Amino acid sequence: MSLFAFLGTLEIGFIYGLVAMGVYLTFRILDFPDLTVDGSFTLGAALTATLIVLGFNPYLATLLGTLAAASAGIVTAWLNLRFNILHLLASILTMTALYTINLRIMGKPNVALIMEPTMLTPFEALGIPSMYMKVIFVALCAVIGGLLVAWFLNTQYGLAMRAVGSNKRMAQANGIVVNEKVYVGLALSNGLVGLAGALFAQTNGFADSTMGIGTIVVGLAAVIIGESLFSTRSILVIVMSCIIGSVLYRIAVSMALNADFLGFQASDLNFLTAVLVTLALVFPKLRREWKAKKAKGERL
C-alpha cells in the first residue's frame, strides 16, 4: 500500500469513527438499533455540499448539515415512540424517505466540491501538504467529538440516558423521562453521522446519493472491533475505541483489497464488510466455546 493510499485509509477511518460513536449511542447505549444513519450520512453530505456550492460558509453549511441529520433521527424516534412502529422498521422508513430527500436537495445524483472552499481552506495557509492536513483535521474532529460524547455520557443527563437503555422501568421509577432521552439520543447519534457525512464530502470533494449505503454496517463493525480490543468500563476508553476500531477496520479492508493474490476488486467492498462484521460478531462466541471445550478437556 502506498503512503498516499494509507493516508486516505486513515482519513476515512477517522471520519467513520464519528459514525461509530453515533452507532454506539443507539445500539449500545439506548438499545435502539437505528438504520437511519444510512440516510443521515448522505443527508449531512448532500446538504453541506449543496450549501457550499450555493456560496454558504463551509462551517455554517456543515452545522446545518449536521442539524438536518439530527432531525432525521428525531423523526425515527417519533415514529417509534408516538406510533409504536418497531424501531428497526421506523428507521428503515426514515432512511428510505431520506434517499428521495437527498436527491431533491442536490437536484442531481451527485454534487462536486472540487474547486469550492471547505472547512479545510483556512488551514491551507499553514503550508502542510493537503494529504497530511486532511488526516490531521479529521483526526482532530473525531477525537474532539469523542471527548464530547464521553463527557456527555458521564454527566447526570448522560447517565440517565444510559439507564433508559439499560432498564426502562428503573429509569422511570427514578423520575427519568424515557421518551425525551430517546429523542435526544437519536438526534445526537444522527447528528454525529451527519457531521461525518459533511466531512467526507469536503475531504473527498463530492456528495453522492448512494454514498450512505452500508454506513450502519461499517459503524457497527468499528464498534465491535473496538469492543473486542478493550474490555473496560471506562466510557472514555469505549468511545475512543470506536475511533480506533474504525481506523483498524479501514486498514484491514484496504489491505484485503490491495492484496493482489486475493484478487479482490474495489466493488467487493460491501461483501468484505459483511464478512468482517460477521467474523467480529462470531469470533467472541467461538472463543468462549473453545475455552469451555478446553476447560472440559482438562477436567477429563
- Asked whether 236 and 254 are in contact (CB, 8 A), the reply is no
Q: Using CB under 8 A, which of 8, 22, 158, 194 touches other proteins?
A: 158
The phi, psi pair for 110, rounded to 5°, reads -150, 155
Q: Applying CB under 8 A, which part among 142-150, 159-167, 189-197, 283-291 lies near other proteins?
A: 159-167
- Asked whether 111 and 207 are in contact (CB, 8 A), the reply is yes
Site string for other proteins, 186-225 (x = CB under 8 A): ----------------------------------------
- As measured in angstroms, the least distance from the Cβ of 31 to other proteins is 10
Is position 157 an interface residue for other proteins (rule: CB under 8 A)? yes
Count of residues interacting with other proteins (CB under 8 A): 23
Give how far Cα 180 sits from Cα of 27, 68, 144, 158, Å.
17, 19, 25, 12
- Asked whether 80 and 106 are in contact (CB, 8 A), the reply is no
Q: Applying CB under 8 A, which part among 105-113, 168-176, 221-229, 255-263 lies near other proteins?
A: 168-176
CA 62 – CA 46 distance, rounded (Å)? 10
Pull the grid cell for residue 218: 461499517
Residue number, 74 or 160, with CB nearest to other proteins: 160
- As measured in angstroms, the least distance from the Cβ of 161 to other proteins is 9
Is position 163 an interface residue for other proteins (rule: CB under 8 A)? yes
Give the binding site for other proteins (CB under 8 A).
152, 154-160, 162-163, 166-167, 169-178, 233
